[in-house]
Structure 1
Amino acid sequence: MNPKQLKETLEAYYYATGINLFMIDEQGKILETCGGMPTLCTHLTPASKEGCHCTQVHLFASKQAEKIGEGYVFHCPAGLIHYTAPVIYNRVLRGALIAGPILLDEPDDMILEGIMRKYDLQEQDRESVRKYIEDIPIVMPEKVKYLSKLLFLVTLSLMDQDRFVLYERNQRMHQQSHINLSLQDMKEEEKSHSHYPYEKEKELMTKVKNGDEVGAKTILNDILGHIFFTSGGNMEVMKARTLELTSLLSRAAVEGGGALDKIFGLNYKFIGQLSKIENIEDLSYWILKVLDRFMENVFSLAHSKNAELIKTVLSYINKNYMNNITLEEVSGIVYLNPSYFSTIFKKETGVPFSTYLNKVRIQESKQLLKDINLSILDIALAVGFEDQSYYSKVFKKITGTTPKEYRDHYQF
């Protein structure tokens, strides 16, 4: 690692936040510091330092951060809050940046007395420890996670391709957490989950066609939970059911506007990878990456320089389509002039902003039309249209039929 780059990185974080920062290597040795002394143990008497476990705690926290692929908040042996972000090279932990200590509230005598007792300190150490505690920055609890995230982003700047390894680990961790929650729900309500969730499949296709990446991943993980729960641990059965999901996703991507040849080419490639998968976690992540690639091709965003901007906008629209959102409002979330944003949006998606918004609303309304207890007016208002007449007009323009005809014809 470039020593100059490392020093500049630590200084930038320290002067921006006022929080001490230091770097450790894979053995826990402190290599570089910025700010005050990195640990309380530095202020203790030699006899007290013999019981210091800072190195072990720093390494444990750094390994946890590496495992989950994001910042990790922890307490040092003295009970003071720190947070860390891992530095990896060739997929191996080579060190970490650690920030702290910080306090969540004004220090009091309880903290001081607790440290004095824990380390069996002498009275001569009291003032030194008190001064150390009084100099610790106080951070509001809600800001801690953002400071930790900022440190993680700063740490990524020190790495090259290995940053994508951490991104993958973070995705895997969040996905498995979601699937585990779904499995737990199914165990608690086993009878109600005995049938395959075909309705969720339809919702998934709608999300893919609308470019709703977040919504699609949430539903996909719910379906995976059901597949794993009902497959009795049989890996071949789980692969077969997941392969069926791949076909579903590819069809939805094509219907959403993805190029047929590209989608089918990806399908062939992914199927070739499936035979090599041997565990549930890899299978789960495999289908998640399939979804990512298919959705990139719905609006041909794979090589777009505006891909992240468009994804942000699509996510916002899919979360707020039921409200009276405007071009000005949406362009504001990506800090662009409405006219310029309109040009970029049409160039990247192939349709004007208003057309895409109406498409999302109509797709979502199709799900609501399955409920015969809802009137056409109720549905129009629920998806963001101001009146039934305009809703029906847009519905027919997009689908070729009226909402009533669609409801009557479709066999729910």
Structure 2
Amino acid sequence: MLELLEDHERIPYICRLLYEAYRLPVAWTNSKGETEQTPHPSTHIRPPVEGVQGLPAEVLEMMQEAADSRKDSRTAAFPLICTTAYLENFIVLPLSGELEQAGAIVIGPSLYAPLTEENAGILLRDHNIPAGGKEAWLQYYRSLPVLDRMRLYHAAILLYTLATGQALSISELLQDSQPLQPAQHKDSAPDLNLSYRRENIWLHHDPSQERELFRHIRSGDKDGLLQTHAGFSEDQYGLLSKKSQLRSKKNLAISSITLATRAAIDGGLFWEIAYTLSDFHIQHIEELKDIPAVDRALLAALCDFADHVKDNRRFKLSRTSALCQNYIFNHLYEELTLSRLAGVAGLNASYLSQLFKKETGLAVSDYIQRERIEEAKRLMELPGITLSDIATRLHFNDQSYFTKVFKKYTGTTPKQFRHDRGII
């Protein structure tokens, strides 16, 4: 069908089709990055960076490199995925081969996930965007469509197939778009570094020490963790930054916390709790200014993981009940029903209800209520959140019912709970 269209009809048709399918900005641009045609008016006005408007420099450079590398090629170019320093995603398909057109089809910008105002502010500070330009960027980010990584890849594959009539796999797309090449070592090579370390008997720690350390986290054994950690020698750690000893220590700490997170999850800790702990400890370590503080913070983080696993292991549950508890923990702000949990567990609702009560001592509905009250207690520690807002967010029918359930599990009313803690 597409081959029956003339080139000047075919490209606009593909652009319209992609826009209708994904609601992403799509444009046909010439070799200078200037728009020749677009199937819709643009509502995503990018604030100028260093006085330059239009397509980001990264996209223009990618288009030029693709054009230079394929000047003598008659084969169709693969689509390229470009993520800018400002986290915008673009798909670029250089027009070549049988289309015989200069320029490219460009899809974007889009985001992989919505940017919160806080995260956007941090990103803009990283790029030294002045305070006066922040609001324009926030409006721009709010206007961008969101398309997760896999859907963006499929959009790129669909574009390629429409333009060329050929199939393309995700692995082919990624290898051509983002060549998976190891980092180049200018000053030294890993083999030479390895020889130097062996000659000077400056070896990394024995992997069995590392396995033992994280085994203690999986089992919730803080005492064993502390003993194993004490056996690590300072000169056995790797060097993860040539420019800064502090940066090297922080990188080592972040690596350790990442491994500790996986060990804690393997030990039965709810994965959302484990990841949240990881975020908290890494953020704290990033703010530290000296190496001893990083060392102390890392050990405290490892102990924190072990303690949480130990607390979680006090209740011996089947995989099914643990799965349901984890799901409830992650979805407290949504409507939760027994039938929904049964679907998650892949079991009959009646059987799940009996199993859950046998192992936890609580009916599913009572367990959900109790967990929502625990979450309400956490929210009530924060200033500026009303009790009625908490009741609504946690799916209590009204504030009086929320008060009744809260008193059932805590022995006090929400107002008294706040008063006792001096929270206004």
Asked whether the two chains share a fold, i.e. TM above 0.5, the reply is no
Say which structure, 1 or 2, has more relative contact order (CA 8 Å, 6+ apart): 1
TM-score, with length taken from structure 2: 0.36
TM-score, with length taken from structure 1: 0.37
